[in-house]
A = this chain, B = another copy of it.
Amino acid sequence: MDYAAKEKDADFLMNQVFKVQQNWSQIEAYQEFSEELVRAVVAEGGRLATEVMAPLNEVGDAHGCQLNDGEVTTPPGFKEAFAQITEGGWLGLTGNPAFGGQGMPKSLAGLIEEMFWAANSSLFLYGSLTVGACLSIDAHGSAEQKQTYLEKLYSGQWTGAMALTESHAGTDLGMMRTKAEPQADGSYRITGTKIFITSGEHDMAENIVHLTLARIVDGPKGTKGISLFIVPKFVPNADGSLGPRNGWSSGSLEHKMGINGSATSVINYDGARGFLLGEEHQGLAAMFTMMNYERLSVGLQGLGAGDLAYQHSARYAQDRIQGRSATGAQHPDKEADSLLVHPDVRRMLLTQRAYVEGCRAFAFFAGMQLDEAKHMGDERAERFGQLLTPVVKAFLTDKGLEGAVMAQQILGGHGYVKEWGVEQIVRDARIAQIYEGANGIQALDLAGRKVVRDGGKTLKELLQVLADFELDAGHAPAVSEAFERLRRVTDSMIARSNEDANLPGAVSADFLDLVGMTLCAWAWGVMAQRAGDDDFGVAKKQTARFFFARLLPRTVGLEQGLMADSDVLMDMPEALFSA
């Protein structure tokens, strides 16, 4: 499926909008990442995305994965393409340099990840789970574990997977039943069944390293009794070579709506050998190191899907002639005008684009917070990163699906048939709202844990920092108004939560939406100010204008709806949901 990497947009964000070189110059570990080097990295990532990954996107959907005798076969070409990704060192982009990682900024890596997701989300899933596993091992592993696993994972010789979900316990990890029995040699015997395990079994690497949540027998009940284990497919020998096949297997593959090129397994652990990662009973904390990365990354998956869909529908609208302009024929020499003469087609294109570019900007800003927290020990940046993570995950994936659906609409009937590829984007994008914590969970995390719990302190600090950016004069009042609106809603939500324990959950989804819209408004205010007068800049300014006139007003309605208390939801008796 054709996809153009957005190198120019990456450059614009890094060098015009956020001037990252100024920040990076203050970070010891980033000294070598000059503008030139970074540009070369983005260009090469873009080449890989467009030339190697994108051509396999439809192939992956059409072929899917096969399970025979416990062995999973990935779609034709996936193995070779994955080898090109791993050989280039792309899985270790932000990895620990002590073990072969490249130590690049997360903000930069996000721009590359977006391209990989856009080009072929099924294929990149084999990589993204590996990156997440590395983060967890790097943060919580023993020296020996890091030595054993990190280099082989960064290089893609081995890949990673996370095994959390059980069929009766999705979001509610406290109900988990998979058990871990301590063995004399310090390892554990893992027994249980996990479902929905992305990249849990496949044929792209010689070893697959599961990070598996399980309950140590006789440990505390609920989430406090859960620990995280490294459960490799082949247990490594002391010299790092592959040892015996471990006691787990892929029982079946899930048949899904989309991301068919990604193997999603049911994994049966039948007394498999596992090695504790981090502390006993601290599994959730260790797992969240991985999860937080994955959440940001999955947000970028939504963003990538949205951009891919935009590109397809914009090209279609430019090429397709149909109907005449309401102001008279624009191309009288042709049988009809282009679809672009129709205001409603433009509305759909500009909506897609305004969200893609606005979201890309604030996701990049979120990445910068993670970089500053990691390398400058900046406690506030740490909190900003935690606040922004659920917004990036949920808002970007919501808008990704919305955008893909709009793109499909622009293609009309061609959008519904497989031949044109856009319906695949919709099916593929849909998962991003569900996995790595469904978007409802993200919203509750934001409203409850990240805002109500600290009395809105971090959110207001963030708004203060954002207000210090130079904004386009024409749009600055609208951004201020949006900030004021968000402050009002935040204060009201916090105040009412004292009396109404269900309030954060009742308003969470709309609250997250409001935060996302407000961040988009800010991003467009900044981008319009930094855009030049060339075509690229004019497109930015026009899109900003559209965003403020047509999309931001949604927040006025959001505010009003957010004033309702939880009783309008909770008063309905449970039984009446089927009356």
Q: Which residues of A are in contact with B by a Cβ distance under 8 Å?
A: 165, 169-172, 174-175, 195-196, 254-258, 311, 314-315, 317-318, 322-323, 325-327, 335-336, 338, 340, 342-350, 401, 405, 408-409, 412-419, 423, 426-427, 430-431, 433-435, 438-440, 443-444, 501-502, 504-506, 508-510, 535-536, 538-539, 542-543, 545-546, 549-551, 553-558, 560-561, 564, 566, 568-579
Contact = CB atoms under 8 A, between A and B. Distances in A.
11 contacts: A256-B418, A325-B502, A343-B506, A344-B505, A409-B433, A413-B434, A413-B435, A423-B430, A538-B573, A538-B579, A553-B560
B426 A409 contact: no
A555 B174 CA distance: 41
A44 to B, nearest CB: 23
Nearest to A430: B416
B572 A539 contact: yes
Contacts of A443: 344
Nearest to A536: B579
A417 B502 contact: no
B506 A577 contact: no
A167 B431 CA distance: 32
Contacts of A340: 574, 577
Contacts of A346: 569-570, 572
Q: What secondary structure prevails in chain A residues at the interface with B?
A: helix
A67 to B, nearest CB: 15
Contact of A426 (B257, B311, B543, B545): B257
B572 A550 contact: no
B416 A255 contact: no
B568 A255 contact: no
Given A170-B413, A416-B435, A538-B579, 15 more contacts: A165-B413, A170-B414, A171-B322, A257-B418, A318-B574, A327-B502, A344-B505, A344-B506, A346-B569, A416-B430, A423-B430, A545-B568, A551-B561, A554-B554, A557-B558
Contact of A578 (B318, B350, B423, B510): B318
Contacts of A545: 568, 571
Contacts of A549: 561, 564, 568
A221 to B, nearest CB: 10
A302 to B, nearest CB: 14
B570 A416 contact: no
A577 B349 contact: yes
Contacts of A577: 314, 317-318, 340, 349, 539
Contact of A344 (B348, B440, B571): B440
